[in-house]
Amino acid sequence: MLSPEAESLHREAREAIAACAGEDALAAVERAYLGKNGAVGRMLAAIKDVPPAERPRRGQEANALKERIGTALAARRAELEAARLERERRAVDFDPSLPGRPLLAGSLHPVTQVTRELEDIFASMGYSILDGPEVELDYYNFAALNIPADHPAREMFDTFWCDRDEHLLLRTHTSPVQMRALERLTPPFRAIVPGRCFRNETVDASHEHTFHQMEGLVVGEGITLGHLIGTMKTFLRELFQREPEVRLRPGYFPFVEPGLELDARCPFCTAGCSVCKGSTWIELCPCGMVHPTVLRYGHVDPARYTGFAFGLGLSRLVMLRFGIDDIRHLMSGDLRFLEQF
């Protein structure tokens, strides 16, 4: 039971608490009653002035009062906090139709993206990834690939020559790395070589003097044309994630014998379109069994080892993959193009 004075103080405090509309007011009320010099504090301080017999009762009363006011404060605080949260939940000035702030991202060139995809597929099949120079010696680009000087096949390559003696050139294909691989690696081995190649062509929507290829070379005992076909089908299935429809036909490249062209069914049409020039097939990959002369140049015994090689048109694959209709974009350095990838 509280004394009438205490009871009146309690009522007074509760009214003050109920009137509080925010934390600042609550804090002031808390100070006024429970602070060092607050009303309850003063009650406690006055205890020493009452007779000792009455002191315990007065002490209990003060503590009871402190606890009740404290409870009321906490309850009011919780109430106000709940009201504040409720206001926050309701008072939303929010337009759900607005898009998010765009992420300022960078980009990887589409040729890099497709190159990586191919590298990953072949690396998972145990292929090494090799590299070779873009300014290349005639020996590696032609002579060691069974294309000696004055061979009419040289006409097929539209070469950029770096000297009048036809000694130094910009590589016309990634095939020179075949010979570099034969010099460096010991059979059996499997290797791919992605890279930049050059042909002296007039540039238009479907021709570039600079393009990307990926060479493949496998040398070992008992390697057959069937292995080449199996490898190409596996790779295409991995790349396109479906069983590929391919066509194999003869093709002439002096560094392979037999030489083949691998075509894939045009992904853009069923009856012929501008991409496949009406044929429904897309030339993807010249390939074949490594010519014994090439193996010999690389100091590999053709009686013991056979091998196959292929030259994937990387730029072509990039265009197919992304539906790019103009090859010139690839080397343009135009942000409007690059940002899309």
Partner 1 sequence: MLISYRWLQRHVDLAGITPREVAEDLTIHTAEVEGLARFAPWLDDVVVGRVVAHGRHPDADRLSVNRVDVGGGECLSIVCGAPNVGQGQTVAVARAGTMLPTGEDGSLVKLKKGRVRGQESQGMICSVRELQLGDEHAGIWVLDTAAPLGTPIARALGLEDWVVEIDNKSLTNRPDLWGHRGIAGEIAAIHGRPLRPLEFALPAADSPAHYPVRVETASCFRYLGLPIDGVANGPSPDWLRVLLLAVGQRPIDLLVDLSNFVMLDLGQPNHLFDRDRLSPAGIEVRDARPGETMATLDGIERRFSSADMLICSGGAPVAIAGVMGGEAARVEASTTRLLLEVASFHPTTVRRTSARLGLRTDASTRFEKYLDPTLPALAAAHLVAILRAIQPQVAFPQALGDAGDWTDPSRTIDLRPDRVREVLGAAIPDAEIARILASLGFGVARGALWRIEVPAARATKDIAIEEDLIEEVGRMYGYGRLPVQRIRADVEPPPREHRRLLVRRLEDRLSGAARFHQAMTHSFQSDALLAALRLASLPHVEVVNPVVAGYSKVRRSIVPSLLGVLAENRRHRAEIRLYEIGKGYLPEGTDERGQPGERHEIGLVWAAPRLDPGAHFDAPCFARLRGVVEDLVAHAGAEAPRWRRTAPGEAPPWAHPGKTVLAESPGSAGPLALVGELEPGLHGAIGLAGELDCQVAAGLVSIDLLLAHPRRAGAYRPLPRFPGVKLDVALALPVDVPAGDAAAAIEAAGKGLVQAIELFDVYRGETLGAGRKSLAYHVLLQSPERTLTDADAARFLARLERGAAELGGELRRD
237-266 residues in contact with partner 1 (CB under 8 A) are 247-252, 254, 257-261
d(CA 241, CA 246): 14
| Three-class SS state of 241 | coil
Instruction: Out of 162, 244, 269, 280, name the contact with partner 1 by CB under 8 A.
Output: 162
Decide if residue 332 touches partner 1 (CB under 8 A): yes
Q: Considering the complex, state which of residue 91 and residue 104 has its C-beta at the smaller distance from partner 1.
A: 104
Q: How far is the CB of 53 from partner 1 (least distance, A)?
A: 52
Among 161, 267, 268, 325, binds partner 1 (CB under 8 A): 161
- How far is residue 237's CA from residue 264's CA, in Å, rounded to a whole number? 11
Q: Are 214 and 287 in contact (CB under 8 A)?
A: no
Any contact of residue 335 with partner 1 (CB under 8 A)?
A: yes
Task: Tell me the C-alpha distance between 215 and 4, whole Å.
Answer: 101
Residue 251 vs residues 255, 257, 285: alpha-carbon distances, Å: 11, 10, 10
Cβ-based nearer residue to partner 1, 80 or 331: 331
Q: Segment near partner 1 (CB under 8 A), from 54-62, 73-81, 91-99, 190-198?
A: 190-198
Q: Does 268 sit near partner 1 (CB under 8 A)?
A: no
Task: Quote the least distance from Cβ 265 to partner 1, whole Å.
Answer: 13
**Which residues within the stretch 193-222 sit at the binding site for partner 1 (CB under 8 A)?**
196, 198, 200-203, 209-210, 218, 220, 222
Give the CA distances from residue 202 to residues 171, 205, 206, 241, 315, in Å, rounded to whole numbers and listed in that order. 17, 10, 10, 35, 16
* 18 to 37: interface string for partner 1, x by CB under 8 A: --------------------
Closest CA to 200 of 172, 176, 224: 172
CA distance linking residue 21 with residue 4, whole number of Å: 28
Which span sits near partner 1 by CB under 8 A: 16-24, 70-78, 81-89, 132-140? 132-140
CA angle, 242 as apex, 240 and 246 as ends, to 5°?
80
